[in-house]
Amino acid sequence: MMDYRGRMEKSMLSILVGLWMISRSVAAVKQPYVPAIFVFGDSIADAGNNNYIPYSKVRANFTPYGISFFPHPTGRFTNGRTAFDFVANYLGLPFPPPYLKPKANFTRGINFASGGSGLLDSTGAESNIISLSNQVKLFEEFSSNLTRTNSSGPSQAKSYLGKSLYCIAIQGNDIAYYTANTALQNTTTLEQFVKLMLAKFDQYVRVSS
């Protein structure tokens, strides 16, 4: 069991390191390297969406969250910025704002991530969070509206979306859900569960693309 968890953690670390290396390589670029950044995931990526969800059980709206940078709680599950805030900064972009933040400027990107979510809808279902499937639906609505209403025309909107950076950080809560669910363990091996997660991930990537 720990072997699979270790593999997933190493995979996530590799993704974050890869993003960091890419961002470092374009740090000197004066103009944004990409037009926008769109972020999906769980608490690793959440920039405050859960703060705007009534009765959400997963929040980071109290100290010491945020104290090393903002310096107050922003809904990020970290003492400062998320990894994707750093990526956006190095790419010459502002921090992608939470999708649920009122009057937010989405010109340069959006953060759809929600702490407590997972690849599976059952993960975090009782915590009043935005599941990954709903995060993808929100992005689809945004992209559809952008393509339909963009003053420069649909082709320009599609070019903007096609050149943007898409980041997904998720799966840790699914593993926690599995390890705490003895009934699920009796019907599904960890290997089967991991394969299910990978299939779901592949499905979301295909839909988003």
Pairing of strands 109-111, 165-169: unpaired
Considering only the C-alpha atoms of the chain, give the largest distance between any 2 of them, rounded to a whole number of Å: 55
Q: What pLDDT, on the 0 to 100 scale, is given for residue 6?
A: 52
- Whether the pLDDT of residue 185 is over 70: the answer is yes
Alpha-carbon distance of 126 to 180, in angstroms, equals 15
- Whether the pLDDT of residue 202 is over 90: the answer is no
Alpha-carbon distance of 49 to 115, in angstroms, equals 8
Q: What pLDDT, on the 0 to 100 scale, is given for residue 168?
A: 92
How confident is the model over 36-80, as pLDDT tens digits?
A: 999 999 999 999 999 999 999 999 999 999 999 999 999 999 999
Alpha-carbon distance of 50 to 71, in angstroms, equals 19
R_g of the chain computed on alpha carbons: 17
Contact partners, residue 123, CB within 8 Å, separation at least 6: 116, 117, 131, 173, 174, 177
In what order do the strands lie in the sheet containing 109-111? Answer: 109-111, 37-41, 165-169
Contact partners, residue 87, CB within 8 Å, separation at least 6: 19, 20, 22, 23, 37, 165, 167
Mean pLDDT of 98-116: 96
Q: What pLDDT, on the 0 to 100 scale, is given for residue 2?
A: 45
Question: What's the chain's average pLDDT?
Answer: 86
Global pTM? 0.82
Paired with 167 in beta bridges are: 39
